């Protein structure tokens, strides 16, 4: 016998273990079945899972379980990401804090620091494994991958070398986003802007006035730029030189005319600092101007600053302003200048643009093969979405995606950190010349030094969908090129392209776009793959989970954080999953709070108790539920049975259809409503007299099946008690096909009327205080006016095997009365004399007025030629029918009114 309430803690771990040990999560590459593949976005191996992971795991698990039950060969690949910068800075901070190290990089050196990081990563990996299991994720642990696996490293090197040979990867001096705090480059996407109010200084610069918020960069400014059409400066010509007094004495300035100078801004004149500003850099490139470094990579001023050399920016700024002031060059200070300051996403340090030698991927060079065409990486990325090879849900993100690509610059892929895939390039200084080796494997011979930089973490995760499917045993066979590696891997052949990429919209650019870039590049030249494969067919983007009042949950504010593991502990994984899925639509943020989760815990418990009730009924009927294999013959089904079976068939249709379309929220709500309202509030109530256990068990089983993708634990647990003896575990149970012959809309409509009748009688009894045994007659209007119930025989017949009804004595439950109606017991009811005539009259008059108004609107509509001519005939028919029905209703009300008065 089941316990009185569902206890997730006593169930979930046990059930998960059972699933895992059964091998049901393990995909078979040799299977004849159609495949369905999901690559799990690998969480960063830096510790705890948060709600973002929880929502992603819940969504993907629903996809996976649904498709598995539908009979597909499902592969869901789990894994973790090495998250280069995030992990390294996390571990460095940890070492500083826990081991009191000042500078762990310098103190430990490369090898030892990597060792520390590796240990940390291993620990968090096993933590994450446990947490992913807690969510109930049905992923294939035998295929777990990590973005730093040797196979992945091999793939990274292969792709790098190949792109290098194609001229897509190049090394160059470019202005990059330098993070002096973390001592590395960061990509454009890893920058955040913060609005700050700072002082804005205007200085005299020869005959001009120039303005800046950063005087400390101005030492090397020897170009003065103005718009070619600016009338104020027509007397100065491009290339004109002049001597101007500046911070550390006179310098030679050159006039540059360029449209980059906005005549509307300030004085319309500016000086430039090409080494430390993106725009200035481009301007300097255009005019082939000299570039000079002012600020060192440590964030301190270089010797060019003269007396300020070695000072940090913060210290130097006021002193420089002071000096310029004393020289009479300060024109003014604007105090409330608002502008955006670039900050590093990790560490929140100021970004100092610098010129550095870095590795880049060229996104504009048209050498990428795709479906026998030669395109640029940008063009391929656009092409696959335009041609619908990839669909993005919700589709508005396709616009965002295109917009991003339009503005995409070359991708800087090198990072000056130690944790990550090291760039597969080796150098050797040989009598003054420098040899370079770019290869998948290190060069032979001595004296070679590998490039110290590592690759952007997204470079390796961009290969995720297919690099995880390569047979690890083949990875060491360097004689095989990458294309052969893929074609010899059974998993790749069976499971790629993957079916759905489910992830947060916040990493559409970081990751999704880059997977498209890399996968199309790698497969585009392969005839075996029809000259190009996409990484996935569908991209499903979920939104962020926010707090109740719409704020972001952040680690710095622990009060706002909801820890998924706490919630699982408190309410169970099933309840948590429902609370994140139902009410969440793709691409939109949603809010989560404990009451919501508690609400779904109540639902899970309701289902549990409904099952308990069904089992109790089986016991009463001395029927072992496991022996129930079929439904009784149609003639032995009551009205309620037929109505419920009808509703179930409709539910199966809706759920199957909705899940295929990824309408998860809607489907969840649909099942929720069916279980609570139809199954529990209608059917179980009606079953309290005599129950048809076969129908009970049949419907309950179907509910468990349909709900399994959403609530895997509780459904599997209940399944054990109600399943047929020859059925296996629920997660492998076949998905039901809707059966049209079980549909019975007539019965469903009749039951609805009946429910209305019962409800009305209950109400009357409580409102009027009807004495037991007293005979009354009653007229009851159903909500939708489709049927009226009174003691007239024809209506009674409409309701099925109904004789008439009574309230015989006080102790008898109203629900029993309902059962009496259903089983056709011969009872008599007359509520005459107890009806509140005045109240009924009032109600009838109100209804009459409503209906008359409604009728008027329909009649008007039907007289309107433009309606009858233009509206589809079906609609006109419908309106006519509505008119007839309304007239009918009005007639009845009229009759009733007459009889009352």
Partner RNA sequence: GGGCAAUUAGCUCAGCUGGUUAGAGCGCCACAUUGACAUUGUGGAGGUCACUGGUUCGAAUCCAGUAUUGCCCACCA
From the CB of residue 792, how many other CB atoms can be counted at a distance below 10 Å?
11
Q: In what order do the strands lie in the sheet with 169-179?
A: 184-186, 169-179, 352-361, 411-412
Using CB under 7 A, which of 606, 774, 887, 892 touches RNA?
606
Using DSSP, state whether 385 is helix, strand or coil: helix
Under rule CB under 7 A, which residues in 177-236 are in contact with RNA? 188-189, 191, 193, 210-214
> Considering the rule CB under 7 A, would residue 134 count as an interface residue with RNA?
no
Closest approach, Cβ 127 to RNA, in A, equals: 28
Closest approach, Cβ 458 to RNA, in A, equals: 13
Using CB under 7 A, which of 99, 810, 870, 891 touches RNA?
870
The contact mask relative to RNA for 24-63 (x = CB under 7 A, - = no) is: ----------------------------------------
Closest approach, Cβ 136 to RNA, in A, equals: 19
> Considering the rule CB under 7 A, would residue 864 count as an interface residue with RNA?
yes
Using CB under 7 A, which of 112, 875, 894, 895 touches RNA?
875
List the one residue out of 465, 513, 460 whose CA is nearest residue 489. 465
Closest approach, Cβ 581 to RNA, in A, equals: 11
Using DSSP, state whether 491 is helix, strand or coil: helix
> Considering the rule CB under 7 A, would residue 10 count as an interface residue with RNA?
no
Using CB under 7 A, which of 388, 872, 873, 901 touches RNA?
872
| Residue 769 φ/ψ region, left for φ over 0, alpha for ψ in the -120 to 50 degree band, beta for the rest | left
Closest approach, Cβ 609 to RNA, in A, equals: 3
* # chain residues binding RNA, by CB under 7 A: 89
Question: CB under 8 Å to 859, separation ≥6 — which residues?
Answer: 883
Contact window for RNA (CB under 7 A) among 100-108, 491-499, 591-599, 794-802: 591-599
Kindly tell me which of 202 and 525 has the beta carbon lying closer to RNA. Answer: 202
List the one residue out of 551, 554, 642, 709 whose CA is nearest residue 74. 709
**565/563 Cα distance (integer angstroms):** 5
> Considering the rule CB under 7 A, would residue 766 count as an interface residue with RNA?
yes
Using CB under 7 A, which of 366, 399, 732, 843 touches RNA?
399
Kindly tell me which of 435 and 784 has the beta carbon lying closer to RNA. Answer: 784
> Considering the rule CB under 7 A, would residue 746 count as an interface residue with RNA?
no
Kindly tell me which of 261 and 831 has the beta carbon lying closer to RNA. Answer: 261
Using CB under 7 A, which of 105, 300, 795, 861 touches RNA?
861
> CA-based Rg of the chain, rounded to a whole angstrom?
37
Under rule CB under 7 A, which residues in 89-118 are in contact with RNA? none
Contact window for RNA (CB under 7 A) among 74-82, 554-562, 718-726, 863-871: 863-871
Strand duo 169-179 + 352-361: pairing = antiparallel
> Considering the rule CB under 7 A, would residue 141 count as an interface residue with RNA?
no
Kindly tell me which of 207 and 490 has the beta carbon lying closer to RNA. Answer: 207
- Treating both helix axes as pointing N-terminal to C-terminal, what angle do 573-581 and 664-673 enclose, rounded to 10 degrees? 120
Contact window for RNA (CB under 7 A) among 516-524, 545-553, 701-709, 892-900: 545-553
Using CB under 7 A, which of 557, 836, 850, 888 touches RNA?
850
**9/716 Cα distance (integer angstroms):** 14
Q: Is 332 exposed, middle or buried (0-12, 13-18, 19+ CB in 10 A)?
A: exposed
> Considering the rule CB under 7 A, would residue 3 count as an interface residue with RNA?
no
Kindly tell me which of 627 and 766 has the beta carbon lying closer to RNA. Answer: 766
Question: CB under 8 Å to 689, separation ≥6 — which residues?
Answer: 815, 816, 818, 819, 820, 822, 823
> Considering the rule CB under 7 A, would residue 396 count as an interface residue with RNA?
yes
> Considering the rule CB under 7 A, would residue 797 count as an interface residue with RNA?
no
Kindly tell me which of 291 and 762 has the beta carbon lying closer to RNA. Answer: 762
Under rule CB under 7 A, which residues in 401-460 are in contact with RNA? 403-404, 407
Using CB under 7 A, which of 319, 373, 882, 887 touches RNA?
882
Contact window for RNA (CB under 7 A) among 15-23, 53-61, 595-603, 696-704: 595-603
> Considering the rule CB under 7 A, would residue 287 count as an interface residue with RNA?
no
Kindly tell me which of 90 and 679 has the beta carbon lying closer to RNA. Answer: 679
Kindly tell me which of 763 and 797 has the beta carbon lying closer to RNA. Answer: 763
List the one residue out of 840, 828, 836, 886 whose CA is nearest residue 859. 886
Under rule CB under 7 A, which residues in 333-372 are in contact with RNA? 339-340
Kindly tell me which of 191 and 729 has the beta carbon lying closer to RNA. Answer: 191
Under rule CB under 7 A, which residues in 248-277 are in contact with RNA? 260-263, 265-272, 277
**341/194 Cα distance (integer angstroms):** 5
Contact by Cβ (8 Å): 845, 898: no
**321/214 Cα distance (integer angstroms):** 10
> Considering the rule CB under 7 A, would residue 619 count as an interface residue with RNA?
no
Closest approach, Cβ 58 to RNA, in A, equals: 16
Taking the alpha carbons at both ends of the chain, their separation in whole angstroms is 58
CA-to-CA separations, 487 to 25, 474, 475, 480, 528, in angstroms, rounded: 24, 11, 13, 10, 8
Residue by residue, DSSP assigns 152-175 as: HHHHHHHHHHHHHHTT-EEEEEEE
Using DSSP, state whether 437 is helix, strand or coil: strand
**121/87 Cα distance (integer angstroms):** 8
Kindly tell me which of 165 and 810 has the beta carbon lying closer to RNA. Answer: 810
Kindly tell me which of 164 and 781 has the beta carbon lying closer to RNA. Answer: 781
Using CB under 7 A, which of 349, 439, 472, 599 touches RNA?
599
Closest approach, Cβ 292 to RNA, in A, equals: 15
Q: Is 202 exposed, middle or buried (0-12, 13-18, 19+ CB in 10 A)?
A: middle
The residue whose two tokens read 């209906």 is 851
Q: HEC string of 100-156?
A: CCCCHHHHHHHHHHHHHHHHHHHHHHHHHHHHHHHCCCCCCHHHCEECCCHHHHHHH
Across the strands, what pairs with 252? 243
> Considering the rule CB under 7 A, would residue 169 count as an interface residue with RNA?
no
Closest approach, Cβ 261 to RNA, in A, equals: 4
Using CB under 7 A, which of 356, 591, 774, 848 touches RNA?
591
Under rule CB under 7 A, which residues in 637-696 are in contact with RNA? 661, 663, 665-666, 669, 673, 676-677, 680-681, 684-685, 688
In 288-353, which ranges are continuous DSSP H helix? Answer: 313-326
Residue by residue, DSSP assigns 698-712 as: HHHHHHHHHHTTT-H
Question: CB under 8 Å to 651, separation ≥6 — which residues?
Answer: 670, 671, 674, 706
Kindly tell me which of 476 and 864 has the beta carbon lying closer to RNA. Answer: 864
Under rule CB under 7 A, which residues in 567-586 are in contact with RNA? 583, 585
Closest approach, Cβ 150 to RNA, in A, equals: 33
List the one residue out of 459, 434, 460 whose CA is nearest residue 447. 434
Contact window for RNA (CB under 7 A) among 81-89, 236-244, 371-379, 867-875: 867-875
The contact mask relative to RNA for 549-568 (x = CB under 7 A, - = no) is: xx------------------
**Helices and strands (DSSP H and E) totals, the chain:** 28, 29
> Considering the rule CB under 7 A, would residue 828 count as an interface residue with RNA?
no
Task: Enter the DSSP assignment of 560.
Answer: G
Contact window for RNA (CB under 7 A) among 49-57, 162-170, 560-568, 611-619: 611-619
> Considering the rule CB under 7 A, would residue 759 count as an interface residue with RNA?
yes
Kindly tell me which of 293 and 450 has the beta carbon lying closer to RNA. Answer: 293
């Amino acid at each position: 016998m089941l316990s009185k309430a569902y206890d997730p803690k006593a169930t979930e771990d046990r059930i998960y273990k059972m699933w895992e040990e059964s091998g049901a999560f393990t995909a078979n590459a040799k299977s004849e079945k159609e495949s369905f593949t999901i690559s799990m976005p690998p969480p960063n191996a830096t510790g705890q899972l948060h709600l973002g992971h929880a929502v992603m795991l819940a969504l993907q698990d629903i996809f996976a379980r649904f498709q598995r039950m539908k009979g597909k060969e499902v592969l869901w690949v789990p894994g973790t990401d090495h998250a280069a910068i995030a992990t390294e800075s996390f571990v460095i901070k940890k070492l500083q804090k826990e081991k009191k190290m000042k500078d762990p990089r310098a103190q430990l050196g490369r090898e030892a620091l990597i060792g520390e990081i590796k240990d940390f990563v291993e620990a968090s990996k096993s933590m994450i494994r446990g947490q992913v299991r807690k969510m109930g994720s049905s992923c294939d642990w035998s295929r777990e991958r990590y973005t730093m696996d040797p196979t992945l490293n091999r793939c990274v090197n292969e792709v790098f070398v190949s792109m290098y040979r194609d001229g897509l990867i190049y090394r160059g001096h470019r202005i990059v986003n330098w993070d002096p705090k973390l001592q590395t480059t960061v990509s454009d996407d890893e920058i955040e802007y913060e609005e700050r109010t700072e002082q804005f200084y205007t200085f005299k610069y020869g005959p001009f006035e120039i303005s800046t918020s950063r005087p400390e960069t101005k030492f090397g400014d020897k170009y003065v730029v103005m718009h070619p059409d600016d009338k104020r400066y027509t007397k100065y010509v491009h290339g004109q030189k002049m001597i101007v007094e500046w911070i550390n004495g006179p310098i030679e300035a050159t006039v540059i005319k360029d449209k980059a100078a906005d005549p509307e801004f300030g004085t319309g004149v500016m000086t430039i600092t090409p080494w430390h500003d993106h725009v200035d850099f481009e301007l300097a490139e255009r005019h082939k101007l000299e570039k000079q470094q002012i600020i060192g990579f440590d964030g301190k001023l270089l010797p060019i600053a003269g007396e300020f050399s070695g000072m940090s920016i913060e210290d130097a700024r006021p002193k420089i302003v002071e000096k310029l002031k004393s020289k009479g060059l300060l024109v003014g200070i604007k105090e409330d200048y608002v502008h955006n300051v670039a900050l590093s996403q990790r560490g929140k340090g100021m970004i100092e643009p610098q010129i550095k030698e870095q590795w880049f991927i060229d996104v504009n060079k048209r050498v990428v093969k795709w479906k026998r065409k030669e395109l640029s990486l940008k063009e391929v990325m656009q092409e696959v979405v335009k041609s619908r090879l990839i669909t993005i849900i919700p589709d508005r993100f396709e616009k965002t995606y295109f917009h991003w690509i339009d503005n995409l610059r070359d991708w800087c892929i090198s990072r000056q950190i130690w944790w990550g895939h090291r760039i597969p390039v080796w150098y050797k200084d040989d009598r003054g010349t420098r040899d370079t080796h770019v290869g998948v494997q290190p060069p032979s011979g001595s004296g070679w030094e590998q490039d110290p930089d590592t690759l952007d973490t997204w470079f390796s995760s961009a290969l995720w969908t297919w690099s995880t499917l390569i047979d690890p045993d083949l990875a060491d066979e360097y004689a095989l090129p990458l294309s052969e590696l893929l074609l010899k891997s059974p998993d790749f052949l069976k499971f790629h392209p993957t079916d759905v990429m489910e992830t947060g919209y916040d990493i559409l650019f970081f990751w999704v776009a880059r997977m498209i870039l890399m996968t199309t590049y790698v497969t585009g030249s392969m005839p075996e793959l029809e000259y190009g494969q996409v990484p996935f067919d569908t991209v499903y983007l979920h939104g962020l989970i926010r707090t109740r009042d719409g704020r972001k949950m952040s680690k710095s504010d622990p009060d706002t954080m909801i820890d998924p593991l706490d919630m699982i502990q408190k309410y169970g994984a099933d309840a948590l999953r429902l609370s994140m899925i139902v009410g969440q639509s793709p691409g939109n943020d949603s809010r989560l709070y404990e009451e919501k989760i508690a609400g779904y815990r109540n639902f899970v418990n309701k289902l549990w108790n409904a099952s308990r009730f069904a089992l109790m009924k089986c016991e009463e009927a001395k029927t072992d539920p496991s022996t129930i294999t079929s439904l009784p013959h149609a003639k032995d089904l009551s009205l309620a049975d037929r109505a419920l079976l009808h509703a179930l068939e409709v539910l199966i249709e809706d759920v199957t259809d909705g899940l295929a379309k990824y309408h998860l929220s809607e489907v969840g709500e649909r099942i929720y409503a069916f279980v609570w309202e139809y199954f529990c509030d209608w059917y179980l109530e009606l079953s309290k007299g005599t129950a048809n256990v076969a129908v009970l068990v049949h419907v309950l089983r179907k509910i468990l099946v349909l709900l399994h993708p959403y609530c895997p634990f509780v459904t599997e647990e209940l399944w054990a008690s109600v399943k047929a003896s020859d059925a296996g575990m629920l997660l492998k149970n076949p998905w039901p096909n809707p059966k049209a012959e079980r549909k019975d809309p007539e019965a469903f409509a009749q039951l609805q009327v009946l429910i209305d009748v019962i409800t009305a009688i209950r109400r009357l009894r409580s409102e009027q205080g009807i004495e037991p045994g007293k005979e009354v007659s009653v007229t009851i209007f159903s909500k939708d006016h489709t049927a009226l119930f009174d003691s007239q025989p024809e209506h009674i017949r409409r309701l099925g095997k109904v004789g008439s009804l009574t309230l015989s004595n006080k102790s008898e439950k109203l629900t029993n009365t309902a059962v009496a109606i259903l089983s056709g017991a011969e009872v008599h009811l007359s509520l005459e004399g107890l009806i509140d005539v005045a109240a009924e009259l009032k109600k009838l008059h109100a209804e009459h007025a409503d209906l008359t108004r409604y009728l008027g609107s329909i009649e008007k509509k039907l007289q309107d030629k433009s309606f009858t001519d233009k509206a589809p005939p079906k609609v006109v028919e419908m309106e006519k029918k509505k008119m007839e029905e309304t007239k009918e209703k009005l007639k009845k009300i009229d009759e009733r009114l007459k009889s009352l008065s």
